[in-house]
């Protein structure tokens, strides 16, 4: 099956609605568990932690977007491609981190991650808020700031992140982009290098095994390896603006 192209949406009003998890038949659950166990044997670093999963989208002509979501765990991703199984797509956050000379930071996912070798902005799968709390933009912003710090060592105040476009990638997952304030290029490189040294010394490999600062769409396309499906249109929008 051919993947659909990624899309970027400008959203003026964003709302969230929590829904019930999908109901699985015994056959579907068994197949999901077997697929998940096989994936863990290949990559033992996978863990079945909590995720916020997409269950529906409604857009209107005024720029509004209603996101329906539910609380699942990572193993539900194993339902993808299973005949007659409920469609399960992810929600994620990503941060466009510019440096003060106009270039943009991107990273290559390490071999132990769920997307080895893929270039993408700092970010990750959205975790549901604890204690049954509601999902909102404040939760997205906090999660995005945490991902930026964990993957690049660049910590910034949460409220400094500016909401950007909403993206839908080639697999149907929906992401929320944030724009970080510019940082000196040397600082971005040094903070990542310090983070990588610390994590390697502790026996935990960094999520990015390489970072680059790109100054154009052509430089992005010249990177060795695959790109996250939404990265090219996001970079094109960033440099076009």
Note the pLDDT of residue 1: 34
pLDDT tens digit sequence for 111-137: 988 889 999 999 999 999 988 899 999
Residue 128 lies in a domain: yes
Residue 92 lies in a domain: yes
Residue 143 lies in a domain: yes
Note the pLDDT of residue 9: 95
Q: For the residues 164-190, what does the mean pLDDT come to? A: 96
Place of tokens 């994590």: 199
pLDDT tens digit sequence for 185-214: 999 999 999 999 999 999 888 999 999 999
Residue 119 lies in a domain: yes
Name beta bridge partners: 172: none
| Predicted confidence (pLDDT) at residue 100 exceeds the cutoff of 70 | yes
Range of the domain at 75: 7-240
60-66 CB contacts, 8 Å cutoff, 24+ apart: 62/12, 62/13, 63/10, 63/11, 63/12, 63/13, 64/11, 64/12, 64/13, 64/14, 64/15, 65/9, 65/11, 65/13, 65/14, 65/15, 65/166, 66/15, 66/16, 66/17
Tokens coding 174: 């929906």
Give Cα 89 distance to the centre of its chain. 12
Residue 2 lies in a domain: no
Question: Using 50, 70 and 90 to split pLDDT, how confident is the model at 141?
Answer: very high
Q: Which CATH number goes with the domain that contains 44? A: 3.90.79.10
Note the pLDDT of residue 241: 59
Q: Which of 8, 95, 5, 21 is nearest to 54 (CA)?
A: 21
Name beta bridge partners: 68: 17, 56
Residue 44 lies in a domain: yes
Residue 1 lies in a domain: no
CA distances from 192 to 97, 149, 160, 171, 198 (A): 13, 9, 20, 29, 10
Within 10 A of 5 (CB to CB), how many other CB atoms are there? Answer: 12
Quote the number of domains for the chain: 1
Q: For the residues 19-44, what does the mean pLDDT come to? A: 92
Within 10 A of 151 (CB to CB), how many other CB atoms are there? Answer: 24
CA distances from 101 to 56, 130, 186, 220 (A): 39, 39, 11, 16
Element housing 37 (H / E): helix 26-42
pLDDT tens digit sequence for 82-94: 888 888 889 999 9
What mean pLDDT is reported for the chain?
Answer: 93
Tokens coding 193: 């290098």
Question: Using 50, 70 and 90 to split pLDDT, how confident is the model at 3?
Answer: low
Distance spanning both ends of the chain, measured CA to CA: 34
Tokens coding 238: 């960033």
Residue 28 lies in a domain: yes
* 157 backbone dihedrals φ, ψ, rounded to 5°: -60, 140
Question: Using 50, 70 and 90 to split pLDDT, how confident is the model at 80?
Answer: confident
Report the alpha-carbon distance of residue 25 to residue 194 in Å, rounded: 48
| Predicted confidence (pLDDT) at residue 39 exceeds the cutoff of 50 | yes
């Amino acid at each position: 099956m051919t993947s659909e192209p990624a899309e970027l949406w400008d959203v003026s009003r964003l709302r969230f609605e929590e829904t019930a998890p999908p109901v699985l038949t015994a056959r579907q659950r068994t197949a999901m568990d077997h697929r998940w166990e096989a994936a863990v044997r290949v990559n033992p670093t996978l863990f079945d932690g909590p995720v916020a999963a997409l269950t529906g989208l409604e857009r209107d002509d005024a720029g509004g977007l209603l996101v329906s979501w539910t609380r699942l765990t990572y193993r539900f991703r194993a339902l993808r491609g299973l005949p007659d199984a409920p469609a399960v797509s992810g929600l994620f956050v990503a941060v466009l981190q510019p440096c003060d000379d106009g270039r943009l930071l991107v990273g290559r996912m390490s071999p132990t991650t769920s997307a080895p070798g893929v270039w993408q902005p700092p970010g990750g799968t959205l975790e549901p808020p604890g204690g049954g709390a509601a999902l909102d933009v404040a939760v997205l912003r906090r999660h995005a700031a945490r991902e930026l710090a964990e993957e690049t060592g660049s910590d910034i105040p949460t409220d400094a992140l500016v909401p950007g476009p909403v993206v839908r990638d080639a697999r149907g997952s929906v992401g929320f982009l944030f724009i970080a304030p510019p940082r000196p290029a040397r600082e971005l490189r040094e903070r990542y290098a310090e983070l990588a040294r610390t994590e390697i010394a502790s026996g935990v490999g960094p999520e990015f095994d390489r970072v680059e600062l790109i100054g154009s769409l052509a430089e992005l396309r010249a990177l060795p390896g695959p790109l996250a499906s939404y990265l090219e249109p996001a970079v094109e929008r960033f440099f076009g603006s």
